[in-house]
Amino acid sequence: MEVVFVLFIALVPICMGMFVRAILDTEGQNLADYYLCGILTLVVVSGFTQLAAILLNYSFTWYCSTLLVASLAMSVAGIVTSVALNRFSLKQQKKNYRDHVKAISRGGNVLGIMIIAFVFIGVLTRILLSSSILEGDFTLETINTCLSTDTIYKFNSLTGDFIENGMPIRQQILTLPILMGFFIKTFGLPATAFVLQAFPCFVAFLYFLALHRIGSFIYPDNTEKRLTFTGIFSFMILVGDISLKSPSFLLIYQGFTGYAFLACVILPYLFSACLRRKWGIAAVCIACEAFSVWTTYGVGFGVLVVVFFLIAMLLRKVIRNTPGRGKEQPGKV
């Protein structure tokens, strides 16, 4: 079943990303974008499925079955839509791949890739060899409770007692623990190893993809600078665990939490989407944050990032339209 899980997590997000981007974004055929968007969409779909299970008082098994069907249905829809609209061309993908290989075949670029690979292996090594900090976190207990009781947030994960008065709905829709439970139950994965080791390594992989997308926008025609950008920021993750709330610390010691997923995946990819003015993708990131961490009625860091970009764009437009500002004066250098 581990092989089936690898195939699922490798292919389904790409196809889901095709479906979402066919609706929200008519430009771009980058596989990294498809994959990242698909992962965030899977979290959002998981959140809505979990909310339906809670409101209708359905079981955890129902949630798992519904999420599996929904994700596969969206994957099929993504393939059909992309082929029908000719937005995913295998010929174009092969051309992009050849151009990409040609661009990175230079000596300096190969060295940059080797450095990034070395840093990535170093991050994975630190995650696998470091002891996860579980104090104050009940992710693993929550997952085990769902698996043993076949319910979602109906029993206290520490005492095993039934929660008579219920939990705030805002807390019940936090879906990352339940989504990890879906993977464990559906594909028969070992709970402890998956939560404390495999999932943080997967988050690290997504972080590197998000960095790549930011670098691709800043340096679209310079592969060497793009690799340098990715290498510098990835190295900061390797050695930057100097604060309890830093992305590096969260990834290495608590990579299974919603805050690690927010800091290392959602916000970097949201930043990339805002740079490219992909507001539909930004909305997916904001929804994903609402289902991953505790926010004020959905208003979290993602909304602040989008507001910041909109204000910056407005100020830029005002400055450009101001007489004598933003333009070179005749006769002046």
Q: Looking at the DSSP assignment, which residues form a beta bridge with residue 299?
A: 296
User: Counting Cβ atoms within 10 Å, is residue 64 exposed (0-12), middle (13-18) or buried (19+)?
Assistant: buried
What is the phi-psi region of residue 278: left when phi exceeds 0, alpha when psi lies from -120 to 50, beta otherwise? beta
Question: What is the residue type of 199?
Answer: F
C-alpha dihedral over 181, 184, 185, 190, to 10 degrees?
Answer: -130
Whether residue 328 lies inside any domain: the answer is no
Whether residue 154 lies inside any domain: the answer is yes
Residues 274-327: pLDDT tens digits? 988 888 899 999 999 999 988 766 568 888 999 999 998 898 888 887 776 555
Radius of gyration over every alpha carbon of the chain, rounded to an integer in angstroms: 21
Is there a contact between 240 and 248 (Cβ–Cβ < 8 Å)?
yes
Whether residue 333 lies inside any domain: the answer is no
Whether residue 182 lies inside any domain: the answer is yes
Q: How far is CA 182 from CA 176, 197, 311, in A?
A: 10, 17, 40
Q: Is the dihedral of CA 319, 321, 325, 328 positive or negative?
A: positive
**Alpha-carbon gap, residue 22 to 26, rounded angstroms:** 6
Whether residue 236 lies inside any domain: the answer is yes
Q: What's residue 332's pLDDT? A: 46
Whether residue 326 lies inside any domain: the answer is no
Coil, helix or strand for 76? helix
Number of domains in the chain: 1
Helix or strand holding residue 69 (H, E)? helix 60-84
Helix or strand holding residue 183 (H, E)? helix 176-187
Q: Looking at the DSSP assignment, which residues form a beta bridge with residue 162?
A: 155
Coil, helix or strand for 155? strand
Tokens describing residue 282: 């930004």
Question: What is the residue type of 273?
Answer: A
Predicted confidence pLDDT, tens digits, the chain (333 residues):
789 999 999 999 999 988 888 888 756 567 888 899 999 999 999 999 999 999 998 999 999 999 999 999 999 998 888 777 665 555 555 555 555 555 555 545 676 677 778 888 888 888 888 777 766 677 888 898 898 889 888 887 777 777 766 677 777 888 999 999 999 999 999 988 899 889 999 998 999 889 888 888 888 777 777 777 787 877 877 777 676 777 778 888 888 888 889 988 999 999 998 988 888 899 999 999 999 988 766 568 888 999 999 998 898 888 887 776 555 545 444
Question: What is the residue type of 133?
Answer: I
Whether residue 275 lies inside any domain: the answer is yes
Whether residue 330 lies inside any domain: the answer is no
Is there a contact between 18 and 203 (Cβ–Cβ < 8 Å)?
no
User: Which residue segment(s) compose the domain that 264 sits in?
Assistant: 2-321
